[in-house]
Structure 1
Amino acid sequence: MAMNQGPCARTELAPAAALFHSLSDPVRLAIVQRLTRGEARVADLTSELGLAQSTVSKHLACLRDCGLVDFRPEGRQSFYHFDRPELLDLLRSAERLLAATGDAVVLCPVYGPEADPAPEAEEDAR
Structure 2
Amino acid sequence: MTQATVDEDGRGEVAALTAAACLFHGFSDRSRLSIVQHLALGEHRVVDLTGHLGLAQSTVSKHLACLLDCGIVTVRPQGRASVYALAHPAATLDLLAAAETLLGLTGDAVVLCPRYGEGAGS
Same fold (TM > 0.5): yes
Whole-Å separation in 2 of the counterparts to 1:89 and 1:11: 23
Alignment-derived partner of residue 99 in structure 1: 104
Alignment-derived partner of residue 43 in structure 2: 39
CA drift at 1:103: 0.7
Alignment-derived partner of residue 113 in structure 2: 108
Whole-Å separation in 1 of the counterparts to 2:15 and 2:38: 32
- Cα displacement string for residues 13-65 of structure 1 (whole angstroms, at most 9, x for unaligned residues): 10000000111011101100111111111000111111111110010000000
Whole-Å separation in 1 of the counterparts to 2:88 and 2:70: 10
Show structure 2 runs of 5+ residues with no match.
1-8
| Length, aligned pairs only | 112
**One-letter amino acid of the counterpart of residue 85, structure 2:** H
- Does the residue aligned with 1:113 lie in a helix, a strand or coil? coil
Aligned-residue RMSD, C-alpha: 1.8
Alignment-derived partner of residue 124 in structure 1: none
List, as ranges, runs of 4+ consecutive aligned residues in structure 1 with deviation greater than 6 Å.
none
Alignment-derived partner of residue 71 in structure 2: 67
Calculate the TM-score normalised by the size of structure 2.
Answer: 0.84
**One-letter amino acid of the counterpart of residue 48, structure 1:** H
**One-letter amino acid of the counterpart of residue 67, structure 1:** G
Paired residues for 1:47-66 under 5 Å? 47-66=51-70
Show structure 1 runs of 5+ residues with no match.
1-5, 118-126
Whole-Å separation in 2 of the counterparts to 1:103 and 1:113: 11
- Does the residue aligned with 2:82 lie in a helix, a strand or coil? strand
**One-letter amino acid of the counterpart of residue 97, structure 1:** L
- Does the residue aligned with 1:105 lie in a helix, a strand or coil? helix
Paired residues for 1:69-88 under 5 Å? 69-85=73-89, 86-88=91-93
